[in-house]
Structures are given as C-alpha cells and as structure tokens.
Amino acid sequence: MNTPAIPRQVLPVLVFAQFAGTSLWFAVNAVMPDLQRELGWATSAVGTLTSALQFGFIAGTLVFALLAIADRFPPRLVFLVCALAGAACTVGAWWMVREYTALLLWRFATGFFLAGIYPVGMKIAAQWYSKGLGGALGLLIAALVVGSASAHALRALGDALPWPTLMLGVAALAAFGGVLLYLAIGDPPGALARVSQLQWRALGTVWTDARVRSSVLGYFGHMWELYTMWVMVPLILATRLTGTDLSWAAFWVLGAGAIGCAAGGWVAQRWGSARVAGTQLAISGACCLAAPLLLGAPDAAFYAWLVLWGITVSGDSPQFSTLTARNAPPQAVGSVLTLTNSIGFGISIVSILLFVWLAESVSMGALLPWLAIGPVLGLWALRPLLAEERAGR
C-alpha cells in the first residue's frame, strides 16, 4: 500500500509559521537599546526581561504537557490560538512598555503562549513526516534559530526602524503565521485520534523507556550549553568589536546554527539521527574546551571557531527532538516533547544565571570550557541510541 504524498506546501508553511511565531521570543530584546536610551533603563533590564519570558515558557510547557493540550486538541488550533495570544501580548507590551512591571508580566505571558508554538510545531511535523522527520525538524528548528538570531540583526537595523514599528511588526508577523498554518495545512491522512484523558503514564516514559530517556538526557546536556553560549557570544565578540559590527557578527555566528540544523537533517536521513546529534554535540563540546586557545587567536581562527561553534551548538537540537518523537508513545508525542522542552529550558536558565554570575569574576578562557559538561554528559546518555544505529537497527 502506497503512502499518500505529502502536499508540497506543508513543509514551507510549517517552516514559515514556526519562524513567524518564534520571532516573538526576542521582540523586546531587539529594541532594548532604544528603550534604554529613551527611558533610562539599566543594562541589566534586558536580562531580567529575557528571564521573565523564559520562566513563562517553562510554566507554559509544564501546563501544556500535564494537561496534554497538544494531544487532546487539534494541534493546528492550538498553534493558531497561541500565535494570536502571543501577538496580543506583544501588542500589550508595546502599549505598556514604559511601565516596567507590566512589561515583565506581558513578556511572561508571551513565553507562556510560546509553549503552544515551538513544541506544537514539532508535533505537527511529526504527524506529517513519519519518514524523513529528521530532515523536516532540521528545517523547522533552523527557522527557530534564524528567528532567535534575528534579534541581533534587528538591533543593527535599529537606527533605521523605530522601536514601535519593530514590536508591532513582529506581532503582526506571528499572527499571520498562525492563521496561515491553520488555513493552509489540514490534518494528515491517518492521523491518530486525539486522546480524551491526561497522559500521565506516557509522560513517565521520559524516565522509564530506555530510548526516550537516552534522547531526552542527551537533549538536556545540549540545553546546558546552547542558550548560555548564545548569551556569551556578544561578550566574546565585544573583546574585538563594538556597535553595529558586533550586532551583525553575533547574528552571523548564532544564525549559522541554521546550517547545522538543515544540513544535519539532510545527513540524518542517510546516517541516522543519533549519530548526527552525537557528532555535532561532540564538536560543540570541543569548541568549549578550545576557548582558552582560540580567544586570543588571530582573527581568521577566532571567527572560524565561533562560526563552527554556532553551527554545531544548535545543529543537534532537531535530531534530539526527532529521536524523542520517534520513540515516545504515539498518542502522547506532543506532551512528551513539551515536557522535555520545559525541563530543558529550566536547565538553560540555571546555566545562564550561573555563567553570567561567574563571568563577573572569572576570565572567559577559564569559564567557557565548563560549558562542555553538558555535551560530555549528553554523549554519555546517548550511547544506547548510538549503539542501535551502529548495529543497523
């Protein structure tokens, strides 16, 4: 029996909608320099606002996972509602931007609704691409990486675009992405019936199923490194660049992760997701360890190191999600992915706060190698899945 062909518009629409929806993530960060000049805010305000959104995302993913939102309701509808709600929160942030406490609350709410965009987009991809999921998620998370890195590009363009235009434009983009996905993509043929009850036992497979546990713990090691590296990159670049040059360099270093995601997805279809994830995790860990040597290297080696790190630090993410989606109980893929995101982002907050605090008293060369703890533990956890792929199972 032939598998029905997947409509051509499915993947492009998914990729665009994911990019549009996740652009809400750094909407305020991109305009912070303007707000700091206009309202006299301290530099630390951007860190507090970012943390508020991260905490909102953790709370949202935990609620969505425990209530099995993505598995009990149509994922397209969940994505639409959350994209519209996230856009509305960004409009609210624009409207009350001068009231710092209110802005924190709006950003927390934006993070909460992002829980119905990023993981749910992966659930929709998993519904359509039972085969070739690694490639599909590679492109999907590449869109997320570019969306995240775009904050630095927007910052570089900040002198040309007023901050209200940027904030409202991002809100409109997210809303359009949600509507487009809902209207342009139907339910896949043979989609599993939605569950009608909470999936406590299925969520437990994160710990009880050896395959799921392997990919999830590997992902947690990846998350220890990823967002802290993203936070540290501007500090590293500031040793050689300033102003617009620094912002563009940060965009290219972080945006290079899209290459790792997309190319890794293509290679994974021939080589296996575990081996692609393990290889990229090993290279990014090596980049952490190489920091003392390369921080003072000539420009060519310095920037090549950062770009390689940018490519590999993000490139393993879609393959960890692919492995988890393949091995999780089919009726609870959305909930398992969402719970995994919740815990992973909790780990990232601990790592960010710890490394930013230590950076005040410890040199970069002595500090950055400790990020390799995540890749080392992640590779150790990934061993069972690597062994399966080597054995050809």
Domain annotation for the chain: domains and CATH numbers: 8-186 (1.20.1250.20), 207-392 (1.20.1250.20)
Q: What is the pLDDT of residue 353?
A: 82
Reduced to 3 states (helix: H, G, I; strand: E, B; else coil), residue 242 is coil
Q: What is the pLDDT of residue 197?
A: 52
Residue 2, pLDDT above cutoff 60: no
Whether the Cβ atoms of residue 81 and residue 211 lie closer than 8 Å to each other: no
Residue 152, pLDDT above cutoff 80: no
Q: What is the pLDDT of residue 19?
A: 86
| CA pair distance 14, 141, nearest whole angstrom | 10
For residue 19, CA distances in Å to 146, 175, 271, 330 come to 8, 12, 27, 26
Q: Across residues 108-122, what is the average pLDDT?
A: 89
Q: Across residues 112-141, what is the average pLDDT?
A: 81
Tell me the HSE value of 16 on the side-chain side, using a 13 A CA sphere.
Answer: 16
Q: Across residues 20-41, what is the average pLDDT?
A: 72
Residue 144, pLDDT above cutoff 80: no
| CA pair distance 77, 74, nearest whole angstrom | 5
Q: Across residues 362-385, what is the average pLDDT?
A: 94
Q: Across residues 11-21, what is the average pLDDT?
A: 88
pLDDT classification of 255: cutoffs 50, 70, 90: confident
Q: Could you tell me the two tokens for 198?
A: 């909470």
Residue 166, pLDDT above cutoff 80: no
Tell the residue number behind the tokens 């990020």, with chain if given.
371
What average pLDDT is seen over the chain?
Answer: 84
pLDDT classification of 348: cutoffs 50, 70, 90: confident
> What residue type is 3 in one-letter code?
T
Whether the Cβ atoms of residue 77 and residue 182 lie closer than 8 Å to each other: yes
95-104, 161-170, 197-206, 286-295: lowest mean pLDDT where?
197-206
Residue 279, pLDDT above cutoff 90: yes
What residues contact residue 288 under an 8 Å CB cut-off, 6+ apart? 225, 229, 309, 368, 369, 370, 371, 372, 375
H, E, C per residue of 272-305: CHHHHHHHHHHHHHHHHHCHHHHCCCCHHHHHHH
Q: What is the pLDDT of residue 290?
A: 96
Whether the Cβ atoms of residue 260 and residue 311 lie closer than 8 Å to each other: yes
Q: What is the pLDDT of residue 33?
A: 63
Tell the residue number behind the tokens 């009350």, with chain if given.
96
Of 3-17, 22-36, 242-256, 309-323, where does the model show the most confidence?
309-323
Phi and psi at residue 146, to the nearest 5°: -65, -40
**What is the enclosing helix (H) or strand (E) of 33?**
helix 27-39
22-36, 69-83, 160-174: lowest mean pLDDT where?
22-36
pLDDT classification of 1: cutoffs 50, 70, 90: very low
72-81, 193-202, 218-227, 325-334: lowest mean pLDDT where?
193-202
In angstroms, how far is CA 80 from the centroid of its own chain? 19
Residue 242, pLDDT above cutoff 60: yes
Residue 205, pLDDT above cutoff 80: no
Q: What is the pLDDT of residue 24?
A: 84
**What is the enclosing helix (H) or strand (E) of 211?**
helix 210-237
Reduced to 3 states (helix: H, G, I; strand: E, B; else coil), residue 2 is coil
Phi-psi region of 243 (alpha: psi -120 to 50; beta: other; left: phi over 0): left
Other beta carbons within 10 angstroms of residue 345's beta carbon come to: 22
Of 4-8, 169-173, 176-180, 229-233, where does the model show the most confidence?
176-180
| CA pair distance 119, 108, nearest whole angstrom | 17
Q: What is the pLDDT of residue 87?
A: 95
